[in-house]
Each structure stands twice: as C-alpha cells, then as structure tokens.
Chains A and B, each alone.
Chain A
Amino acid sequence: MTANQSSNANEGPTVKHRHRVEGPEKHIVVFIFSIVLTAIAFAAVAAGGINTAFTIIILLVMAVLQVFVQMGYWMHLKDKGHLMPILFMIGGFFVASTCIVMALFWVWW
C-alpha cells in the first residue's frame, strides 16, 4: 500500500484525486429546499384566513421537514457511521418533546 502510494505520488495528480471530494450542488439543493419550506410556512401565516389548526399543522410539518433535511445533509447524519450521533439526537428530541407535551398537559388540562 505504502509503496503503491509513493509510486503514484511521482505520477502527479493521481494521489490527490483518489478521494472524491463532494461538490456544493446537493447543499445548494438543500438550501433552496429550506427556503421553499420556510416560504410556505410564512405564506400560510401571512395569507391568513386559513383554519388555525390547519396552519399549525403546516408550520410543524415544514419545520420538521427542514430540520430533517438540514441535519441529514448539513450535519451529515445520513452518512455512514453516524449511529451513535443519531441515537444521541433521538434521545435529546425524545426528552425535549416529552417536556413539551407534559408542560402543556399540566398547564392546560
């Protein structure tokens, strides 16, 4: 392996191009997707006249979708070898949502 590498190094760019470096394209797609989701959420509120419960559902769906895409691509959670980070985040979100549900339950029921 070492001998192979050093012989490649003499041939010039082969070593440098052995690792494929990802381009910005998919991150720009994620960015545009996030902008669109955000615009839908703002438009649903700015337009008014939509049923409140339905607006809340739109807001939550847009927020969760955007968070999923950004954590998957920008924070690399969809890449291999991210089992523990995914478990940490699921654990964190589970406790966080339990807090929210319980606070609402105690205060308003």
Chain B
Amino acid sequence: MSHAEHVNGELPHEPEKATLEGRNKVLGFWLFLGGEAVLFGTLFATFLALRGQNNEGPTASELFSLPITAAATLILLVSSLTSVFAIQALHRHNIEKLKLWLIVTVALGLGFLGLEIYEFYEYIVHESFNMKTSAFSSAFYTLVGFHGAHVAFGVVWISLLIAQLYRKGLTVVTAPKVYVSAMYWHFIDVVWVFIFSVVYLLGKVG
C-alpha cells in the first residue's frame, strides 16, 4: 500500500496529490493551461491587430460601458476567491463546505454568463454590432465569446463534479478532479484580467 491511504483509513492531508494519478493529472493540466495561454494569445493578437477596423460600424469607445465591465470583473474575481475557499475546505476534508463553495462559484459563473449574454444582446439588437459588422466586431466576438465559452464549460464541469461529490464523496479519486477544476477557474479569471484591460479599458481609451 502506498501513502495514498493512511493506516487508519483516513484521507491524506492533500488528497489531490496523494496518488501518482492525481499528481500527473495536475501536471498534465498545467501543460494544457500553457497551451490555453497560446490559444488566447493568438486571439488577443488578432484582436489587437484589428481593433481599429470598425468599417463604419460602432467603435469600441462608443460601444463599451465601464459599469457592466466592472460588474463582470467583480463577479469573476469573487468566484475565483470562492474556488480558493473550496480548495481550502478540500484540504480540511470538510466536504459540506467544499460543496457549498463550489455551488457559490458555479452561481457566480452563471451570473457572469448572464451579464455577458445581456451585453452581447444589447450590442446585436440595439447597436447593430454583430459578428459580420467589421473586422473589429469579428475579433471582439471571437475573443470575448471564446472566453465566455470557457466560463460556460467551467460551469458545466464544476456542476458535474458537485454531483459526483454528492454520489461518491471526497476520495483520492475525486479530489484531483476538484483541484484541477479550480486551477481551470483561476486561469479563466487570469484571462479575463487581460480581456478587461486590453479589450474594454483600452477600447475606452481609443
């Protein structure tokens, strides 16, 4: 028997790193996040190159609203903090608190998605700013929409993990999954930091 299980059958201190499989999962996920950084880098590159080409459609400074961007930023930042609390509960083997903080994280993720859908709806319906309006609009929807798709995926993923925690409890098998999903969620927040800086705030500056 490895150190995956304690002699008295207790869960180890850091259950996500207790098995080789768990450690490999975390390491492999970092490699994936490196690839994600490149993927978002190419989308940022496209956006930065094309952001001035509005083709007589709305420009960034006409379109964007700082209060909505600030609200979305706050929601995502708080959700990143709640997923830190979830991992701290995991390290304390407090499964009830772990599930609670994951549910809060998912709820905040849904709030962010709702805000983004409202924002896109306003742009498309009231500002006639859609995917085909200009090079700027295509680059904007591709970059921000791709980030939104990542949030949507994260919401589904973490929801399924919560369901699995209810079914199987916290074990050396489920713990690495939760840990890795929290890494993913932090990475989404990190990407959003660049999006609100480079897309929205820089767009307002001109």
Contacts and interface: CB of A to CB of B under 8 A. Distances in A.
B30 A88 contact: yes
Contacts of B34: 88-89, 91-92
A103 B84 contact: no
A46 B194 contact: no
Interface stretch (B42-50, B106-114, B146-154, B159-167): B42-50
Given A92-B37, A100-B45, A42 B66 contact: yes
A24 B88 contact: yes
Interface string B48-81: 1110000000000000001001100110011011
B49 to A, nearest CB: 4
A82 B122 CA distance: 43
A92 B33 CA distance: 8
Contacts of A28: 81
Contacts of A106: 49
Contact of B197 (A41, A70, A107): A41
Given A35-B77, A45-B205, A70-B80, A103 B187 contact: no
Contact of B45 (A31, A85, A104): A104
B35 A92 contact: yes
Contacts of B73: 38
B183 interface: yes
B202 A21 contact: no
Nearest to B32: A88
Contact of B84 (A5, A74, A91): A74
Give 5 closest A-B pairs by Cβ, nearest first: A96-B41, A92-B37, A92-B34, A103-B45, A88-B34
Contact of B189 (A46, A70, A107): A70
17 contacts: A6-B7, A6-B8, A21-B88, A22-B91, A24-B85, A27-B88, A38-B77, A44-B201, A55-B205, A70-B193, A71-B190, A84-B27, A85-B30, A92-B33, A92-B37, A103-B45, A103-B46
A5 B187 CA distance: 38
Given A67-B190, A92-B35, A42 B70 contact: yes
B177 interface: no
B131 interface: no
Contact of B44 (A5, A24, A100): A100
A93 B191 CA distance: 12
Interface in A1-60: 2, 5-6, 9, 19, 21-24, 27-28, 31, 34-35, 38, 41-42, 44-46, 52, 55-56, 59-60
